[in-house]
Amino acid sequence: MKKSNDFVEIESLFKKLQKTIINGFMSLDTKVDIKKTNWKYKSGGGGLSCEFIDGKVIEKGMINFSSIEGLVLPNSALAKKIKGNVKKFHATGVSIVIHPENPFVPCSHFNIRYFETDSKSKKNWWFGGGFDLTPYFVYPKDVSLWHDSARQICDNYSASYYKDFSKQCDEYFFNKHRNEKRGVGGLFFDNLNNREKDFHKNFVLDTGKTYLQTYSQIIKKRKNKKYNKIHKTFQQIRRGRYVEFNLVYDRGTLFGLQSGGRAESILMSMPPSVIWTGKKNIELAKFEKNLKKYL
């Protein structure tokens, strides 16, 4: 299955977006170590994994690009709207997770993806993606900024997008076994192919620009706030919820593992240090009670 001209163009634009976002985070944390790894996929294609390590602002982060082709499309990637016997596929995407050093800076996630298959249907392609925010100590102004930015970019394309994609985000990023949302929401969308391809392409690229601009504003406001050991402990406990979601429910993780992708890149989204404990003192219990008001 040969790459279409559209796929080649989108692949190139995703690479440029990855570079833009890498440069954006580098400007926010000049002390961070950066490790870049080019890798190849077993049946064709590959990617560039970029890991941020031990920074003053970013404790650990990943900003990954991939473009792969395969013979069997994993169930975790099958779009509901795609009909027919789908086997061969091309997939490209950008995936980002940032775990900040300061507990008062929220964790964030962003990804976009584009698929093409060998289905005989005219709609044998689709886009997906989204972004969400996972704070440990909630600042309502940050949450409002996050959602206002999401609403604005959606309204530029469709009056229904924000309501639909915000709802899908809340439903998707949900730890069922904990009966709580992973964070304070954002956008989640998949199977986008009901408009012209350029329409959806421009939308997902604009979500990337919006993510970087909005999250950068939040980082700048919170990165120098003083914290102590108990704040860090609470951050590490709540990071455990993030790990639970990514390993149990996340379709991106499942797709990577089911498709035989590079394990180091797939699991790079995991935080650097986590605590699981059922024992909480009065202060930790208070932190959790305040956070759950927003979950």
Q: Do 35 and 77 form a contact (C-beta atoms < 8 A)?
A: no
Residue type, position 212, single letter: L
Could you tell me if 94 and 17 are in contact, meaning their C-beta atoms sit under 8 angstroms apart? Answer: yes
Q: How many whole angstroms separate alpha carbon 103 and alpha carbon 238?
A: 10
Instruction: Quote the DSSP letter at residue 159.
Output: T
State the Cα–Cα distance between residues 262 and 256, nearest whole angstrom.
Answer: 8
Instruction: Reduce the DSSP state of residue 189 to 3 states and report it.
Output: strand
| Cα-Cα-Cα-Cα dihedral sign, residues 278, 283, 286, 292 | negative
Catalytic-labelled residue, pool 109, 147, 200, 231 = 109
Q: What is the token pair recorded at 260?
A: 């035989």
Residue type, 199: F
Which residue bears the tokens 């507990």? 103
90 noted as active-site residue? no
Question: Which residues belong to the active site?
Answer: 109
